[in-house]
Amino acid sequence: EYVDAIIDMADSLDMYIALLPSWGDKVFKNSWGTGPEIFTPDNARAYGQWIGNRYKEHDNIIWIIGGDRNPRAGSTDITVWNQMAEGIAAAAGGYGNTLMGFHPQPNRPGGSSTWFHNEPWLDFNMHQTGHCANQGTYKFILHDYDLNPTKPVLDGEPLYEDHPNCFNAKELGYSIPDDIRRIMYWNVFAGAFGQTYGCHDVWQMHTLDGEGINGPLRPWQQALELPMANQVKHLKHLMLSRPFLTRVPDQTMVLDVQEEDDDFIIATRDSEGTYAFIYFPKGKTCRLDLSPLKGNTLNSWWYDPRTGNAFTGPTIAKTDQVTVVPPTSGKGQDWVLVLDDASMGFQEPGKMP
């Protein structure tokens, strides 16, 4: 009844719930979790039907199968999760009445696609790129984006704010906004249909009189006002200020040979060529190919991912090679170059229609 009340409250606030039918330790505990291990191929479908029937009238639920576990080789885990998902879909009246993903642990190169990409219940793929700052998460998103049949992909658990880097705060410190922002823009520009945000203090609802898991830094109430908790919206506003559903990744626009480090510049554009976004994590000078864009005259803008503000740049003639110098450079000086076909009359980037 408590879960019912939370789902109803979220609905009253026009919010969606990502609902996990079970945490992964109810299938197997491995090295963490308390269990009990109760689900088998014989009972998982019945449970899925029960919980699916309970919430089939709610249209604000996104079903997340898996519960932070990767299926073990040589086990029945894949069958258990398939049966649970099929039970939910059957109770809801079919696949068209559910929206489902699978929350894995870190896995390379594919996330949920490794085990479930061709399953009819899986509507979108999820990754957990994990809690290390020094990795090219865009590669994992692009891997799933390129799969056939085509399914949307999302990073369901990226580096959290206030999280010990690689769970090793003593040697590597904690995550900082620069790293979290970079991962977010990398993922979405590589083809993800959105991005999740998490905070190490908030997920565990840490308080000063609590024991804390993996070294939280502050009470959860204070963490609600951390920098990235307020900066995530700038990515959303940018993406929705231009045609969203026709957007594709296009790394061919970046001409310079790049190392796979935290200065990696990444590009995305409209499939019709009406606009492009190029993300510069550290404001590095770069050569770009603008020929995939439609108009011969391009309006340029610089969008600040830290503030959501934008200012106009020069009008640029379309060419197959132009050198671009961002307004500032260095760690924490990330920018998005926005290029628009001048004939489209797009509004300022980040301004919602």
Residues 257 and 175 in one domain: no
Residues 163 and 22 in one domain: yes
What's the chain's average pLDDT? 97
Using the 3D structure, point to which of 221, 240, 259 is the last residue of a domain.
240
Residues 251 and 211 in one domain: no
Residues 233 and 253 in one domain: no
Q: Does residue 234 lie within any of the structural domains?
A: yes
Amino acid at 139: K
Question: Where residue 32 falls among pLDDT bands split at 50, 70, 90?
Answer: confident
Q: How many domains does the chain have?
A: 2
Residues 217 and 272 in one domain: no
237-288 confidence digits (pLDDT tens): 999 999 999 999 999 999 999 999 999 999 999 999 999 999 999 999 999 9
Q: Does residue 165 lie within any of the structural domains?
A: yes
Lowest mean pLDDT among 124-128, 217-221, 348-352: 348-352
Residues 175 and 34 in one domain: yes
Q: Does residue 82 lie within any of the structural domains?
A: yes
Give the per-residue pLDDT at 352. 80
Q: Which two tokens stand for residue 125?
A: 């793929």
317-342 confidence digits (pLDDT tens): 999 999 999 999 999 999 999 999 99
Residue among 295, 303, 327 nearest 235 (CA):
303
User: Quick check: 28 and 70 in contact, CB under 8 A?
Assistant: no
Question: What CATH number has the domain bearing residue 47?
Answer: 3.20.20.80
Give the per-residue pLDDT at 343. 96
Q: Does residue 305 lie within any of the structural domains?
A: yes
129-138 confidence digits (pLDDT tens): 999 999 999 9
Amino acid at 268: T
User: Quick check: 268 and 235 in contact, CB under 8 A?
Assistant: no
CA distance 122 to 95: 9
Rg over CA atoms, the chain: 22
Residues 86 and 183 in one domain: yes
Amino acid at 177: P
Question: What CATH number has the domain bearing residue 259?
Answer: 2.60.40.1180
Residue among 142, 155, 89 nearest 119 (CA):
89
Amino acid at 206: H
Four-residue CA torsion sign, 191, 157, 58, 81: positive
Q: Does residue 228 lie within any of the structural domains?
A: yes
Q: Does residue 319 lie within any of the structural domains?
A: yes
CA distance 293 to 298: 9
CA distance 99 to 63: 6
User: Quick check: 188 and 152 in contact, CB under 8 A?
Assistant: no
Question: Where residue 148 falls among pLDDT bands split at 50, 70, 90?
Answer: very high
Residues 105 and 222 in one domain: yes
Residues 235 and 272 in one domain: no
User: Quick check: 165 and 184 in contact, CB under 8 A?
Assistant: no
Residues 315 and 190 in one domain: no
Using the 3D structure, point to which of 189, 214, 240 is the last residue of a domain.
240
Does pTM top 0.85 for this prediction? Answer: yes
Residue 353 pLDDT greater than 80, yes or no = no
Please state whether the peptide bond connecting residue 109 to the residue before it is cis, i.e. omega within 30 degrees of 0: yes
Give the per-residue pLDDT at 310. 98
Question: Where residue 30 falls among pLDDT bands split at 50, 70, 90?
Answer: confident
Residues 111 and 212 in one domain: yes
Q: Does residue 352 lie within any of the structural domains?
A: no
| Angstrom distances, CA of residue 147 to CA of 112, 125, 144, 186, 192 | 12, 10, 5, 19, 13
76-94 confidence digits (pLDDT tens): 999 999 999 999 999 999 9
Within a 10 A sphere around the Cβ of 58, how many other Cβ atoms? 16
The mean per-residue pLDDT over the stretch 49-63 comes to 98
Range of the domain at 228: 2-240
Give the per-residue pLDDT at 227. 98
Give the per-residue pLDDT at 33. 87
Q: Does residue 350 lie within any of the structural domains?
A: no
Residues 88 and 220 in one domain: yes
Using the 3D structure, point to which of 190, 214, 240 is the last residue of a domain.
240
Give the per-residue pLDDT at 31. 74
